[in-house]
Amino acid sequence: MKTAKIGLLGFGNVGGGTYKILTDNKELIEKRIGVSPEVVKILQRNKNKKRFVDADEKLLTEDPDEILNNDEIDIVVEMLGGIEPATSFMLQAMENGKHVISANKAAIAANYDKLVNTAKKNNVEFLFEASVAGGIPVLTAITNALAANNYVEVMGILNGTTNYILTKMTEEGLPYDEVLKDAQAKGFAEADPTADVEGIDAANKLSILMALCFDKYVAPTDIPTTGITKISANDIKAADEAGKKIKLIGKASIENGEVTYSVQPVELDKTHPLAGVSNEFNAVYITGDMVGELMFYGRGAGPLPTGSAVCGDILSIMKRKF
């Protein structure tokens, strides 16, 4: 059986989840794909950080070049987060002829054209299913199974932290500040929640969705973005009484070739499929000219759901390129 040699950049939650899946489900993957995945090196920048799983010490390195310049490695998986050095690492890996997979929405949304073009120029694959909506395989659907459609609209609940906060505000009638504190205590919100609650994370994901659906790149900083920090318990109560639910929605649609886009709190009818998406779950609602409306629902974060999406990309490359 052929072996795909894989280098992981990052060994936090997503890196750990990916490593665990490739280890625990190795036989299943070999049986289904006919190629064996082997992690040969893992970049771990902070040795003292708590890990999701352990790995053989001799796989670990603090030197990125042991992966990026390693002739043995076929596939580099970038799970560092942040725009740099992640982007430079991905470009270097592509230029060295390696297929690149990334879970890093910030880096991809910031440098979409450069990354896609560099992959094309070097004739390598660049896949990033995990960068939008975690474990939900929506990018693969957009670029493959649904690719005979002109997309008309894409909208989604793209951030689990804000959906958790809005759900708790709705169900328990509590104010934003109180729910945020609770979410931070439970690990659903970070100590500095700005990127989530101000809609920045959702804008990164919408930028990627728009690029794939409408072949139009808009920098996330150019997407009109409003977060959820100004939403009061009263707003939610008033919406409820009008048969609505407030959700943070990233949305883009096209009409006569013109794409309009925003990230903002929206009052959805309670009968809308997205209105039923609660807690930390994500969902993407797509309209194609032929298929009509579709919704993809699932876990938008977490080591194993996100790792599942990363592994889907790894398997796709193993299936087609080995």
Nearest approach, Cβ of residue 135 and a copy of itself (Å):
4
Q: What HEC string does 101-116 produce?
A: EECCHHHHHHCHHHHH
Residue 227 or residue 298: which is nearer to a copy of itself going by CB? 298
**Is 205 a known active-site residue?**
yes
Is 141 among the residues that bind a copy of itself (CB under 8 A)? yes
* Number of Cβ within a 10 Å radius of residue 191: 5
What is the C-alpha to C-alpha distance for residues 316 and 314, in angstroms, rounded to an integer?
5
Give the strand pairing for 244-255 and 151-157: antiparallel
259-288 binders of a copy of itself (CB under 8 A) = 271, 273, 276-278, 288
Nearest approach, Cβ of residue 221 and a copy of itself (Å):
28
What is the C-alpha to C-alpha distance for residues 197 and 186, in angstroms, rounded to an integer?
16
What is the C-alpha to C-alpha distance for residues 35 and 58, in angstroms, rounded to an integer?
23
11-30 binders of a copy of itself (CB under 8 A) = 17, 21-22, 25, 28-29
Q: Which of 115, 136, 189, 197 binds a copy of itself (CB under 8 A)?
A: 136
Nearest approach, Cβ of residue 301 and a copy of itself (Å):
11
What is the C-alpha to C-alpha distance for residues 128 and 94, in angstroms, rounded to an integer?
14
Q: Which of 7, 227, 250, 298 binds a copy of itself (CB under 8 A)?
A: 298
Going from the C-alpha of 152 to that of each of 12, 255, 293, the distances in angstroms are 37, 8, 10
**Strand partners of residue 254:** 259
Q: Which of 15, 199, 227, 305 binds a copy of itself (CB under 8 A)?
A: 305
Residue 15 or residue 199: which is nearer to a copy of itself going by CB? 15
Residue 83 or residue 315: which is nearer to a copy of itself going by CB? 315
Name the residue with tokens 């690719």: 147
Q: Which of 129, 196, 201, 267 binds a copy of itself (CB under 8 A)?
A: 129
Nearest approach, Cβ of residue 311 and a copy of itself (Å):
4
Is 32 among the residues that bind a copy of itself (CB under 8 A)? yes
Name the residue with tokens 């709705």: 170
Considering only 68-76, 79-87, 110-118, 145-153, which stretch makes contact with a copy of itself by CB under 8 A? 145-153
H helices of the chain, where?
13-24, 26-33, 65-68, 86-95, 105-110, 112-121, 138-140, 160-172, 176-185, 194-197, 200-214, 233-241, 303-321
56-75 binders of a copy of itself (CB under 8 A) = none
Cβ-contact 219, 204 below 8 angstroms: no
Is 147 among the residues that bind a copy of itself (CB under 8 A)? yes
Give the strand pairing for 99-102 and 126-127: parallel
Nearest approach, Cβ of residue 182 and a copy of itself (Å):
20
Q: Which of 54, 120, 181, 291 binds a copy of itself (CB under 8 A)?
A: 291
Which residue of the set 41, 105, 205, 251 is catalytic? 205
Question: What tokens were used for 322?
Answer: 């080995």
Is 81 among the residues that bind a copy of itself (CB under 8 A)? no
Active site residues per annotation: 205
Residues that bind a copy of itself in the complex, under the rule CB under 8 A = 17, 21-22, 25, 28-29, 32-33, 129, 135-137, 140-141, 144-150, 271, 273, 276-278, 288-299, 302, 304-305, 307-309, 311-312, 314-316, 319-320
